[in-house]
Amino acid sequence: MADGLLERFPVDAVYGLHNIPGLPAGELRVRSGPIMAAEDNFEIRITGRGGHASAPHLVIDPMVIGAEVVLAFQSIVARDVDPLDSVVVSCTELVTDGARNAIPDEVAIRGDVRSFTDEDSRLVETRMREIAEGIGIAHRAHCTVSYSRVFRPTINDANCVDHVVAAAASALGEDRVDGDCRAITASEDFAAYARVVPACFAFLGAGEIGEGTTAPLHSRGFDFNDSILGAGIDVYVELVRTQLSKGRTA
């Protein structure tokens, strides 16, 4: 896209399909609007004053400050985000330069945020900065916040969803299609296309987890269920057939 692909080769719509373990094999799930979340990454770096564990009164302990920051971040979802919105704030990594008997000089807290709107993403970033910097000041420590947006929310166009639902119902049968499924908080770089042209991203069930070799996505035990390939092909063939017959490109 940065190379001008969609300007050099304009398209009317773009469609994506992703296998999902945990859904019945060969069944399609899709919805209009947000279907997958944004992913933001953050790093909080707290600099205090380290020293010997036996003399805590001589230090500014970034471990204690970091623990307070981790707990305070949970108030963002509980008290700042509209309860009808879905937001996840996860602190996933804490790294120090200390040792068993030494209080560290510095602590780094890293983590991950999921949301479905740009507004909630900005809200989380703002509150993270206020909370972390405020706690740092209260404890006489220096705190910096780095916040980056990795993926934007995947937003499905209503008309494109209608086309996919119709094609899937024709190819698979209406009883194997859910056109109003629940969104998931995983993220997908397909979202970048959907911000530029009408798009639809759908899920194709890979079978219940635990049956045979089916395991969660990105797990060491994952093995793609080849038996669902036919269902995916049938949906795409029907989608192309119906949409190109209307003079559309895909």
Chain-wide mean pLDDT for the chain? 94
pLDDT greater than 70 at residue 179: yes
Q: Which residues contact 48 (CB under 8 A, 6 or more apart)?
A: 59, 60, 61, 62, 65, 104, 105, 106, 107, 139, 140, 141, 142
Spatial CA neighbour of 153 closest among 205, 218, 201: 201
pLDDT tens-digit readout, 205-224:
999 887 555 688 888 888 88
* Whether the predicted pLDDT of 249 surpasses 80: no
Position 161 pLDDT exceeds 80: yes
Q: If pLDDT is split at 50, 70 and 90, which confidence band does 98 have? A: confident
Q: Which residue has the tokens 């793609």?
A: 224
Of the given ranges (14-18, 110-114, 218-222, 244-248), which has the lowest mean pLDDT?
244-248
Residue 250, pLDDT > 50, answer no
pLDDT at 209: 82
pLDDT of residue 212: 56
**Residue 14 pairs with which residues in a beta bridge?**
199
CA 156/CA 137 separation, integer angstroms: 43
Helix orientation angle between 118-138 and 62-75, rounded to the nearest 10 degrees = 150
* Average pLDDT over every residue of 191-205: 96
Residues 6+ apart with CB under 8 A from 155: 33, 34, 35, 191, 194, 195, 199
Q: What is the pLDDT of residue 245?
A: 80
Q: For residues 148-163, give the mean pLDDT.
A: 97
pTM of the model: 0.88
Running DSSP on this structure, what letter comes out for residue 49?
B
The answer to whether residue 180 scores a pLDDT higher than 90 is yes
Distance CA 218, CA 227 (A): 19
User: What is the rounded CA–CA span in Å between residue 175 and residue 17?
Assistant: 19
Q: How many CB atoms lie within 10 A of CB 124?
A: 25
Residue 247: per-residue pLDDT: 60
Whether 137 shows a pLDDT value over 50: the answer reads yes
Domains in the chain (CATH in brackets) are 5-37+153-244 (3.40.630.10), 38-151 (3.30.70.360)
More confident residue, 231 or 248: 231
Predicted local confidence at residue 93, as pLDDT: 97
Give the model's pLDDT for residue 211. Answer: 57
Q: Which pLDDT score, from 0 to 100, does residue 244 have?
A: 87
